[in-house]
Structures are given as C-alpha cells and as structure tokens.
Structure 1
Amino acid sequence: MHSRIRIVGGICSGVVAVMCTAIPLLLAQDRSRPFSATTLAAIARVEAEIDRIEADALARVRSVPDNQVQQIELLGKLMLFDKELSVNRNEACAFCHTPETGFTGPVSELNRTTGSYPGSVRTRFSERKPQTHTYAPLAPVLHYNEGQDDLVGGNFWDMRATGRRLGNPAAEQAEGPPTNPVEMGLPDLACSVYRASQRPYRGLFEAVWGPQAFAIAWPVDVEQVCNTPGPPPANDPTPVRLSAVDRGRAAGTFDQMAQSIASYEASHEVTAFSSKYDAVRAGKAQFTPQERQGYDVFRGKGRCNDCHRDGGPGEDPLFTDFTASNIGTPANPDLPYYSESVSDDRGYVANKEGSGFVDGGVGAFLSNGHPLSQPSSVDARWKSLASQNRGRFQVPTLRNVDKRPSSDFVKAYGHNGYFKSLKEIVHFYNTRDVLPRCAPRDPREGTGCWPAPETTENVNKSKTGNLDLTEQEENVLVAFMQTLTDGYAPSQK
C-alpha cells in the first residue's frame, strides 16, 4: 500500500551544494516539512539529464540534417528540453516528460508523494499528474461522434487541446504550459517567442519557418516583463507591448514553436511502436504464457479493450479510444493544489476552492474553459454536453504505461496521481464496487477498501468496478501491459 504522507516542500539544508544551487526552494503547504534529500537528489538527477539531452541536441545544430522534417523534429526537441523558456529559466517541458518514463513524470518521489509537479515558480503545483507525450500526436482533432453521443480526440486530461485551430491537438497542447502560472509561468505568449529568439537554435528556426519569425520590435522592458511570473493583471492580459503587426507575428511564431514540438513528439524517437507487443505482432517475438493469458484477459473478461483499444482494420493499436470516462478515481489528498487557496508571495491564488476543489474534467472545460491554460477555444455548440462530461477524463494510452528506469521507480496513475502502481489501478478496476468504503486513515486502503470517488457524476459502471478477476488474472493482466513498453529488442527473453 502506498504512502499518503504529505511531503511537498523543500529546503537545501543537509543537501550537497550542487543541489542547492540547482534547485530553488520548494516550500510546502506545511512549511516546516522539507522535501527529503532523496527527493532533492532525484530532482537534481532529472535536471542534469535534461541538460545533457539538450546539450546533445544543440551539438546537432552545428551539422543540421538536410531533411526539413528532421530539422523541425530537432527544433521541437530543443524546445522541449529548454528550461530557458520558463519564467525563472529553471524548468523545461521535459521536467514533467522524460524519455526514460515514457515522457511522463520522471521523479519517483514526486510520483509517490505529491502526484503532481512544481512549476517554474516552485511553490506552485498543478492539479493533475503529467500525461505521457508518447503517441499523443496521433490523437484526432476533438470532435463529436453523434452515433455514440460522445466527444472523441484532443489532448490533455480534459481534452482542452482540441486541435480545432491548428489541426493538431499535440501542437495546441504544447501551447498550454508556457503561460500556465503553475507550470512554466510566463505572463505572455510573446515571452516564449522572445526567449526563443535569444537561443542558439534561432538560426535553425528561421531557416525552417522563415526570417520573419523573430523580426519583432521588442519593447525596452521586455526582459523585466518576461521575468515576472504570470498570470498577468486582469486588465492587462498582454503585458509585452507590441504593435498589432508584431503581436500577430509573435502569435504565428508561437504556433510554429508548438508545431515543432508536436513534430518531435510524433517522431520515431518518441512515438516508436517498438514494444514487445509490436514485435509479437510482427512475428519477431512470442509472448510468455503469462503475457498471453494477460492479453486474453485484456480482450475478454477484463474488458480493457472496450476503451483501451488494440486496434482494428485500418487502425494502429494505440490502446485508447480517445474518449473520456470517470472511472471513480478517489481524490488524491496529497495534491499540494488543495493548499494553494491562499495568496503566495506574489499575490497569486491558484485554487480558490481550497480543500473543496473537485476536478470537473472535460465537463468543466466545456462549461468554463480553462482560463489559466486554455490553448483551444470551447466550441459553443458543445456547451450542452458539459453535464454529461462532468468528472470525465481522457482515456490514456496504455503504451509505455509501465516504462520506468528501474524496478523500484514509482509511477503515478490516474488523472490526479492517486494510484501508485499498475497492480493497484488494475485492482481498483476489478474491485471498486465490491470492496467497502474506507474509513478515515483505514490501513486497508487500496487492498481491502476504497475511498469514495472524487465525484460520483457520470461514473462508468458498465465497464469497471466489478470484473470478478482473480488475483492471478490481475497479475497476468499487468504482465501483458508491461509488454507495451517501447525499446524492446527481439533477442530479449
């Protein structure tokens, strides 16, 4: 059973100097409780690995491939691993999305405790766990399927990166974090463009997208403005003072930055189809008896394939149907977001609902948008679908669901990171409606009882909750899902 201890702050006391200089103070909801030295060391390792990958990518700029597609992919990689594109120049997109975990949360201790990750302003945390970037570019543009009365597609847990404007949900997803105050924290999208114009890959960007990309008359105070964490004042939503033409140019370049990132995410380096499952399909490997039994449970008694589709005629096996569902996930009390109900030292309140916050998922997006990180507009014709989508979250792909750098590395599951192992979430799917409700601090939580759902609205009761699987069937199901990890070599046993 995983810990529910709230350890969400940080100091450098007792940690080697390199960690203190690399990691800003991480203050907690309980400001007397620091992050452990183990957590700080893990964060330092992740940041060092991000810097290494960025340096390797920058070295490639000196001998750029002559293929434009590869050039765009390289640009996207450079920006994904560039911490200079955050307000405090300390957080790359990759801080929440690294290769060794299938491009999701790379810090085991954060996954085990907070579930969500701190932003560039290190006292601010998101309300959700990071999703994977792998296979995300293959999601369709969000659309309403009248036959099944459902929304299909988009990116983000709440589908708010619809792809309706750029024709690419992954590109629109990339436009959310830069100006989200609890993520990269810039006060204006123009700041992201300005920062990129100062980076070593500027020449490559202009060679790909044109010399007009950064031909912008920046105001004299642009550094001061862009060093100030967002959100901007309500009466000044675009604090970088640009002419109308330059504002349009900055917006266009911002789109091209996002499209480059999406192109990298769609590349074979990220979206590889190189798992053991793929090798079995290609006749280059065979499942073990346990994995084969798990696949049979997946497609049969477990009903996993109803939503995590393994493909059909003309379909890639992406292990999602791109719809949304409320599986009844309990609230995660360890989310620091619940304590972000008072002004921080910059006067910002991330969560005005405090401990009463309930994540409305897709329904909340359809009702109100996502004012702090809304890369896509809500289609007004979908407003009537809000109530039937309250509490629903996008069905994630199961590809790389168990990818981790070591067997003792903890990954978090569910939109809020409540579940701390693949076996635990499988057990939840199997027994949610069978086991009793947990009492407060119940030691049986996760094995002999479950807390109430975060919200009971639109809970999926037809495909989850009482699957009547044995423990052995749960175990073989996990074994099968472990075959979906990319990077498998056919010679492996």
Structure 2
Amino acid sequence: MTWDASLRQLTLICLLLALPGADAAGLTPKETLGKLLFFDAQLSLKGNQSCASCHVPEAGWSGANSAINAHGAVYEGSVAGRFGNRRPPSAAYATPSPVLHFAQEKSETLFIGGNFWNGRATGEKLGNPAADQAQQPFLNPLEQGLADGACVVLRACTAYGSLLEQVWTGTCAIAWPGKAAQTCAAEGGKLALNRQQRANADRAFDRIALSIAAFEASAEVNAYTSKFDYFLAGRVELSPEETLGLELFKGKGRCAECHVADKGPNGEPPLFTDFTYDNLGVPRNPENPWYAMPASVNPGGKTWLDQGLGEFLAGRADYRRFAGDNVGKQKVPTLRNVD
C-alpha cells in the first residue's frame, strides 16, 4: 500500500467514525469494509462520487439536495453533465428484498423482489439483490463511470488491502498490468488481464459488492428506530392525529395494501413495501435532465417514457412474455425515511 493510499484510508476511517451511529452500530469487519467502500469517492472515474453521494444517511439514504429533489430529481454522475433517468431510491431497508421472481395472484402475474426501480438488480448473480445493485453504479457511465470492475478492485485493494484480506482471504492476489492506475483513470479504460487474473478480479468485484450489501443490511443503515417502531414495541403512544393517520393508512386509504404496515411472520418490523411493482400513471417530469441528454445516451429524446419493469422484462427471454403487462411499473418503495 502506498503512503497516499494509507493516508486516504486513515482519513476515511476518521470521517466514518464521526458519522451518526458509527460507534453504536457495532459493525463486523465485513460491514466496516462495506462502509468504507460505500463512502469512498475514489471508486469513481473522476474520484468525486461515492455510493453515499446519492444515498446520504441524513436524507434517509437517498439524495440530499432538496432543490434537485423538487425539480429534476436525478443526480449528476462522476462526469460533469451526465445524468441518468431516475431519482436514487433509498439504500436503507433495501436488503430484505428477495431475489426477483413472479407469482400468480388470481389472474395477475406479480413480480416480487429485486432492486432498482425497474428490478434489474435481480439477485440472480450473487444471490442478493442489494449486492447485484451495488455493482452497477460503479460501471454506469452516467453514474460512477468506471469501465471495468477490475478498476474498482484495483482502487479498493490499494486503499483497503489489509481489511479485504482479513474479510476475504486472497481477494487482492491479482497480478496487475503496468500502468493499471493510469488505464483506470481514463474514460473507457479496461485492464488487460489474462483469463486467471480476470477471474480473480471478477471474484474480488463480487466480494466488494457483497461487503457493501452487508453494510446496507447492518443496524446502522436499517435502524428500525422510528417512532412507529417504538409504538409497536409499546414504548410510546401515537398522538390522536397519528392514530387517525394510521387508521386511514390501513383502512380507507388502502396504502397498506402495498406498503405493508404489519410485522412479518417472525415478528420482523414492517418494511412498508410488499416488494412488488405498480404503474400509478404518474406523468413524465419535464424537468428530468435525462431529456437533455444526447441521442447517443437517450435515443428517445423528449419523447422518452419510463417503461420501468416492462422494459427490463422485455430484454429477458425467460420473462419477455410478461413485458406488456408490466410497462411503466416501478418498484413499490419503502415508506421508511420517506422525504
């Protein structure tokens, strides 16, 4: 590890210890590693965007800029002027989502689980939708912008090699080519690795994602410390207005049909989502910066409509037959920490 990398790791650890809940959460080594990776802006093309840039703890683990949230709602990527097409969902309470699957409910086929608004982080790769999700922003040119998962591994091993070795033995045992750092710093840069070293890098990238998912599953992220949690535990009472709101939520408002407010079968705290997908008919947002992206990125231009789950299913031979019935559907979000 170089002196610069050692100093960066020490600085990150000090900053993380200053974050709310850093001491109280009692993180495991894997969760600690995941936290370091989650907050490290160097794991992006320009060294300026971390997972936490769009998933801020103080803002319910989602975007923290109120002006952006009130207008375009989409956050800029590592490369200036590049935007995706959807607002970042909360990273909190995402880990209980199961691997994407479907079930028949009367005459309807319901898709359940996965992560991202359109379910494309299925969990089929790593057995964990949150881990599948963690890999994709690193390699999205509109987000963190690196072109090669091996570049994420190189930077992570440079900064956190000892901790990676503690958590995942042998993860950083990769023979890097000359000028690997310079290659990764260039847009589109991909490392020339032989078959064995590529397999080692792919395995390491998977372990990085699993570490991030472990942090996202920790009590620091999924705290279950709302007033409602304390109410369910019998520690506080709801106000008359809150009691009426809960009655409406579960009753006439029918909110709880999708945002389930009851405990799980084993007494788990309610997640306020059933992990399914719905199309509520929300109109397009003309302030979405995606509409201003060039045709090379957004071929639909001003006519683009978010096809949601349906578009993802259409690209899957095994799910294509369900695509038409799922056009425009987005994942039911948790209402925990809603902003």
Q: Does the CA-based 8 Å contact 2:224-2:269 persist in structure 1?
A: no
Q: What's the CA shift for 1:224?
A: 2.8
Match of 1:331 among 269, 284, 294: 284
Which residue number in structure 2 is paired with residue 154 of structure 1? 114
* Alignment-mate amino acid for residue 320 of structure 1: T
Distance 2:12 2:240 in 1: 38
Distance 2:16 2:274 in 1: 34
Q: Does the CA-based 8 Å contact 2:264-2:270 persist in structure 1?
A: no
Which residue number in structure 2 is paired with residue 168 of structure 1? 128
Aligned length: 321
* Alignment-mate amino acid for residue 352 of structure 1: P
Q: What's the CA shift for 1:166?
A: 1.2
Distance 1:317 1:198 in 2: 40
1:354 and 2:314 correspond: no
TM-score (norm 1): 0.63
Which residue number in structure 2 is paired with residue 23 of structure 1? none
Could you give the per-residue CA deviations for residues 40-97 of structure 1, whole angstroms, max 9, x where no partner exists? xxxxxxxxxxx9875333799xxx9xx9x70001001000000000001011110000
**SS state of the match for residue 298, structure 1?**
helix
Following TM superposition, the consecutive aligned residue runs of length 4 or more in structure 1 with deviations greater than 4 angstroms are 51-54
Which residue number in structure 1 is paired with residue 3 of structure 2? none
* Aligned pairs (5 A) from 1:269-418: 269-312=220-263, 314=265, 316-342=269-295, 349-368=296-315, 378=316, 380-402=317-339
TM-score (norm 2): 0.90
Identity of aligned pairs, percent? 45
* Alignment-mate amino acid for residue 146 of structure 2: L
Distance 1:399 1:59 in 2: 24
* Alignment-mate amino acid for residue 123 of structure 2: G
Q: Does the CA-based 8 Å contact 1:121-1:229 persist in structure 2?
A: no
Unaligned stretches of 5+ residues in structure 2: 1-9
Unaligned stretches of 5+ residues in structure 1: 1-50, 233-238, 343-348, 369-377, 403-493
Could you give the per-residue CA deviations for residues 331-378 of structure 1, whole angstroms, max 9, x where no partner exists? 111111111125xxxxxx32121111111100111113xxxxxxxxx4
Larger radius of gyration: 1
Q: Does the CA-based 8 Å contact 1:57-1:74 persist in structure 2?
A: no
RMSD (CA atoms): 2.1
Could you give the per-residue CA deviations for residues 77-126 of structure 1, whole angstroms, max 9, x where no partner exists? 00000000000101111000011011000112221232100000021011
Distance 1:202 1:58 in 2: 19
Q: What's the CA shift for 1:327?
A: 0.7
Distance 1:362 1:313 in 2: 26
Distance change (3 Å), C-alpha of 1:53 and 1:306: farther
Q: What's the CA shift for 1:149?
A: 1.6
**SS state of the match for residue 100, structure 1?**
helix
**SS state of the match for residue 146, structure 1?**
strand
* Alignment-mate amino acid for residue 185 of structure 2: N
Distance 1:356 1:257 in 2: 38
Could you give the per-residue CA deviations for residues 449-480 of structure 1, whole angstroms, max 9, x where no partner exists? xxxxxxxxxxxxxxxxxxxxxxxxxxxxxxxx
Which residue number in structure 2 is paired with residue 78 of structure 1? 36
Could you give the per-residue CA deviations for residues 249-292 of structure 1, whole angstroms, max 9, x where no partner exists? 11111111001111111111010111000100000001000000
